[in-house]
Chains A and B, each alone.
Chain A
C-alpha cells in the first residue's frame, strides 16, 4: 500500500539552528500539507502546497518557515532559526484531490519529532 514517508523520525537541535524536515508524498498525489502537534495539544494546520506554490498557510507559518518541493518526489519543511516553542511532532500529509472534494482521503506520514534545546 502506498504511504507517505518522513525523515528524520526524531531530530534534536539547538535553539537558533536551521532544521529541514523531509517528506516523500504518495507518488500520484498533487496536494501536500504540513501539520504540527505540540506535545499534549491539538494538531494544527501549517501550510498546504499545490502546483509548486503555497496555496494556504496558517498564522503559525511565519517567515521562519518555508516549504519546497525540490524535485519530483520530496517535499520539505525548513525552519530557519529554531525556537524552543518549535518543539513538536511535524506531520506531512498528501492527497490526490483538491481539498478533499472527491474521495476525501488524506494520507499522513508517521511524523518527525523535533526537539529544540
Chain B
C-alpha cells in the first residue's frame, strides 16, 4: 500500500520568506503531482514531476526518485500563496489512480 506523507502539516511564515514543503512516499512511482487547494476548496495543479526539477514563477518542485522524496519551494512568499498544498502520486504508467497526501496548510502573514 502506498502511503504519502507530507511535512509540515501546518506552516506559518512571514511575507518574503523562503518556503519548503516536503513529500515522502513509500513505493516506487511513475509521477508525482503538486496541487494547490484554495480556501474556497478549488484545486489547481501546479506541477507534475517524474524526475529532476521544474520551475514556474516563484515555485520550484524537485523530486528524488531514489529517496522517494519531493519538495515544493516557494521563493519570496506572499499572502496570496496561503493555501493547502497537496502532494499526490501515481504508481504506474497506465494506472490513473492518484494517492494523495494530507496536505500542508501554508499561511503567509503580511
Contacts and interface: CB of A to CB of B under 8 A. Distances in A.
A107 interface: yes
B48 A100 contact: yes
Contacts of B99: 45
A100 B103 contact: no
Interface residues of A, number: 30
A19 B98 CA distance: 25
B96 A31 contact: yes
Contact of A42 (B33, B94, B102): B102
A13 to B, nearest CB: 19
A27 to B, nearest CB: 18
A116 interface: no
Interface string B34-67: 0100001111110010100000000000000000
Contacts, number: 64
Nearest to B86: A43
A111 B35 CA distance: 14
B33 A89 contact: no
Interface residues of B, number: 25
Nearest to A111: B41
22 contacts: A31-B96, A37-B41, A43-B86, A45-B97, A45-B100, A48-B96, A48-B97, A55-B96, A91-B43, A99-B93, A99-B94, A99-B95, A100-B31, A100-B48, A101-B93, A104-B31, A104-B50, A105-B48, A107-B45, A108-B44, A110-B41, A111-B42
Given A42-B100, A42-B101, A106-B45, 10 more contacts: A43-B88, A44-B100, A45-B96, A45-B97, A55-B96, A100-B48, A104-B48, A109-B42, A111-B42, A111-B43
Interface of A: 31, 33, 35, 37, 41-45, 48, 55-56, 58, 89, 91, 93, 98-101, 103-111, 113
